[in-house]
Amino acid sequence: MSEDAMQLDEIVVTARKRARGESLQETPISATAFGPAQMENFFVNDIVDVGRLAPSVALQPSAQKGVQNFAIRGMGVSGSTPSDEPAVGIFQDGVYWGSNYGALGDLFDVESVEILRGPQGTLFGRNVTGGAVSFRSARPSFSDSTKATVGIGNYGSYEASAVLNRPLVQDKLAARLAVQSRWLDGYFTDATTDSDYGESHSLIVRPSLRFTPNDNLDVTLIGEWYSEKGDPVVARGVSPSTLPGSPLTLPQQEGYLTPANFWTVAPDTRGSNDIDVLFGVLEVNWNLGGGVLTSVTGYRDVRTRVLTDFDGTPSRAFLQSIAQDQDQFSSELRYAMPLSDSFDFTTGLYYFEQNFNFREGRDLNNGTQRLATRSLLDNDSFAIFAEADWRPLDRLTVTVGARYTEETKKAQAAPFGACALDFSTCTLSPQAKTDDSNLSPKLGLAYRLTDDQLLFASATRGFRSGGFSLRGTPIIEPYKAEQVTAYEIGYKADLLNRHLRFNLSAYNNDYKDLQRTVLGTSPTQGVVQSVFNAADATIRGIEVEATAILTEHLSVSGSYGHTDAEYKSFAGVADPGSRQFVRVPKDSFNLTASYERTLADGGAFKANLSSSYTGAYFFDDPNLLKQKSYNLLDANLNYTTPSGVWTVSVYGKNLTKEEYAFWGSTLGFLGQNSFPGAPRTWGLRLTAEY
């Protein structure tokens, strides 16, 4: 192998929405990007998996199936309240997910994933104060290709997928169809029946068309149907073991999430889970006037039906039913143009609207207490934005940008007790309305020390939308937008003839009017538990990423993130600095190694090993429930035949059988519950590609 062939590959990203893709190493933002080869190397199934490979990123599920609790640089959401706006924006093919409900983003037939760390308000808008995750589906190409995969694993795991790509009119019209289905009997044992628990069946169907009538116009239409059915997220009651009704206190327990029989549950009812997501996007790129005019129009419809034994014990103490319907429409029109070698810009308009209808029922204390709530929300938003790069000197770039947003929310709610459990009757409040506007500016500097080394710094502002608390409480006065002022410096380098890639970032983010659920006083309702602008905080940290080619066959990579999150004020807390953020470990890191070589028979062998460490963190604002630190070790072996058509793979995840949970809560006199992560899993996969 030549010296040039051993160099690290250039990674091209579209994070800054310029007229053409940019090299990640030349882009003055903190970002991690993955292509199909990297995701296949580490058997990435969804966004949760890919989040373990980036620093200061925690992409976790919640206590409801298909609801994400994503955090970047200490900012995120913990819970499943539908009105809670995310702090990490998810963008599928350029379309923002307006709700935390839906799928967790199965990364099947995806050509790229970009994780942008820190506020991204100028180009991506509201609700990206922590960062953004953008993934892009593979587009139809003008060549015949077919890829099919089947797999089998422990815990009754099966998978099958196929991708067909065909040119319909050469160089003019191409079609692609991607289909994937996965089955799982469940990772858990039901202690009351000694049967499997956690069954799941998911299906993705994604057809797409690409039309290029001439060299200046490219039109892509993508549709997707996602379905997931089976058992709900597994809740496990861990303390106490007594029946409901006994007076109990909840002392802080350092290691409460590591009891014996960790993957055993004892539900009184199996529950059910039913999610359907319809998605469509039309993307048009038109080379016009020396630049590119881009239109991205998307629609998403989410239907969720969940019945969960939330206390996770044999006693019928807390049976929860949730029905959530959400639909959204968005359209972005932008123009990007390099005016000269020293100046280029992107500017655009954006419109978004969504509606949701949320219902929740709670059957408590063996049916002696039955409560239900309902909420409705209409939300629309409009924005205008621009960002420009100016190079006054050969190696110096100045970036200036801003985004202005106007937003309206209209809401109705029926608190717990105002609806019958079957929703045959329900008394909704009069409609409440709030209007808001916000400006998100950015100033950045980038200086090229050499052709392979970049220094950059930025100052930016962003916001997380205000609104109404819509889960079981009366509608009170709206809470304000959450504001962040962020400062960052960074260094990117390809060294040793591009055998070593080293990136370093440091940041300081000041948050004002943090939205937290606390006891507060409303002028109209008195003392209520609801969302208030309850806190101010500072989050600072450092991040390191490195990749090295050690030999012709061996490469290693790793990342480290240290997060120091501190409350400056917190309503009702005398010493806010002593309280830790929810789901924010101080330290996290990952290490990966890949070994690849051509065998004597002409076939190829590849081995991959990855380890991800997550430091200890709390699940709740009072800091009662703590998850201890844990490390997940994954590995896989792959052999590709000399023809290049067949690949057989053996993989294992959580090989050390680490015990951890991705969510936990206190349930008053019922004690506590936890939602365990997956145990050790393994499987065999066969792929044909031609």
Q: How many helical (H) and strand (E) elements, i.e. helices and strands, does the chain have? A: 3, 40
pLDDT tens digit sequence for 68-88: 899 999 999 888 888 999 999
Local structure of residue 25 (DSSP, 8 states): G
How far from 92 is each of 163, 178, 256, CA to CA, in Å? Answer: 19, 16, 37
> What average pLDDT does the segment 587-594 reach?
97
Assess whether pLDDT exceeds 80 at residue 31: yes
pLDDT of res. 86: 92
The mean pLDDT value of the chain amounts to 91
Q: Which of 50-59, 639-648, 671-680 has the lowest mean pLDDT?
A: 671-680
Per-residue pLDDT tens over the stretch 429-454: 999 999 999 999 999 999 999 999 99
Please answer whether residues 80 and 124 qualify as being in contact, where contact means their C-beta atoms are separated by less than 8 angstroms: no
Confidence of residue 2 (pLDDT cuts 50, 70, 90): very low
Average pLDDT value for residue range 342-349: 97
Looking at residue 14, its amino acid is T
Q: What is the pLDDT of residue 252?
A: 38
Domains defined along the chain, listed by start: 4-689 (2.40.170.20)
pLDDT at 22: 94
Summarize the confidence of residues 584-613 as an average pLDDT: 96
Q: How confident is the model at residue 4 (pLDDT cuts 50, 70, 90)?
A: low
- Structure confidence at residue 669 (pLDDT): 59
pLDDT digits (tens, 9 = 90+) for 89-141: 999 999 999 988 887 778 899 999 999 999 999 999 999 999 999 999 999 99
Q: C-alpha distances in angstroms, 447 versus 10, 63, 116, 124, 452?
A: 19, 45, 20, 24, 11
When pLDDT is averaged across residues 241-245 and rounded to a whole number, the result is: 38
Q: What is the mean pLDDT of residues 399-406?
A: 98
| Residue 251 scores a pLDDT above 70 | no
pLDDT in tens, 519-545: 676 676 766 778 999 999 999 999 999
Whether 305 shows a pLDDT value over 60: the answer reads yes
Confidence of residue 261 (pLDDT cuts 50, 70, 90): low
Residues near 659 by beta carbon (within 8 Å), at least 6 away in sequence: 257, 258, 262, 630, 676
**pLDDT exceeds cutoff 60 at 257:** no
Residue 663 pLDDT level (bands cut at 50, 70, 90): confident
Average pLDDT over residues 287-316: 92
How far apart are the C-alpha atoms of 471 and 84, rounded to whole Å? Answer: 10
**pLDDT in the model for residue 260:** 47
* 671 — pLDDT class (breaks 50, 70, 90): low
**Does the structure show a pLDDT above 80 at 246?**
no
pLDDT > 90: what percent of the chain?
Answer: 75
| Strand partners for 673 | 237, 665
Q: Any idea how long the chain is?
A: 690
3-state secondary structure of 23: strand
Range among 33-42, 104-113, 293-302 rated most confident: 293-302
Confidence class for position 626, pLDDT limits 50, 70, 90? confident
Residue 250: pLDDT band with limits 50, 70, 90: very low
Residue with tokens 């993705």: 204
Give 552-585 pLDDT, tens digit per residue.
999 999 999 999 999 999 998 999 999 999 999 9
